[in-house]
Amino acid sequence: MARTKEFNEDQVLDKAIEIFWHKGYNGTSAQDLVTHLGLSRSSLYDTFGDKQKLFVKALKRYHDGNYVRIKEILETSVNVKETLTVIFKLAVVESLEDRITKGCFMVNSAVELAMHDTEIAAIVTDNRKIMEEVFYNAVKKGQDSGQISTKQDARLLARFIFNNYSGIRVLARAGEKDKQVYDDILKAMFSLF
């Protein structure tokens, strides 16, 4: 008779996101997973297969939660330019206050693994396309309402926004703590709007 799981899979995935985000894929050992997730090796491998499969599930869960949150914020926004400013300022605050300099789990995964793992590369590419579309729709909405200049193409701005958002997260991962650096990036970025 099969044993029933005595843990919540979503909670385990959230814990997996935490440790992979902090230590990276290559820096996380099987023992780190067992300790941090509070599961036996057999439960871990019976449920998720192996470390790579667990990582993929964790990265997909992170992606689903992150893009939906930003999409909802921008779709319900009355002033898109102000909302984009708030989103970026929050990213800067998170970057400055992050004691363990974790950056963005998706960006970290792209840098660490996408070049060597086609499944991770596909998730990263899908994330970029979806986030670009979220930003494109927001920019278009802002341009249609007169809040964002039409001097630049909406698709071009969406790609630029996504690239800057990712870049801020890379700076955070690298340990950048100079607020002026982030302020200068935001000033230059929003001058195009």
Which CATH number goes with the domain that contains 79? 1.10.357.10
Domain presence at residue 4: no
Among 179, 193, 77, smallest CA distance to 134 is for: 77
Higher-confidence residue of 60 and 46: namely 60
Q: Which of 155, 160, 183 is nearest to 171 (CA)?
A: 183
Residue 151: what residue type? K
Q: Give domain status of residue 19, yes or no.
A: no
For residue 14, tell me if it sits in a domain.
no
Q: Looking at the domain assignment, is residue 179 inside a domain? A: yes
Q: Which domain holds residue 152?
A: 60-190
% the chain with pLDDT above 90: 61
Is there a domain that residue 6 lies in?
Answer: no
Number of domains the chain contains:
1
Does the pLDDT value for residue 4 go beyond 60? no
Q: 66 Cβ partners below 8 Å, 6+ apart? A: 106
Sign of the C-alpha dihedral computed for residues 80, 171, 14 and 50 taken in this order: positive
What distance in Å separates the CA atoms of residue 57 and residue 54, rounded to the nearest whole number? 5
pTM: 0.85
Query: Alpha carbon 190 to chain centroid distance?
Result: 21
Cβ atoms of 60 and 150 within 8 Å: the answer is no
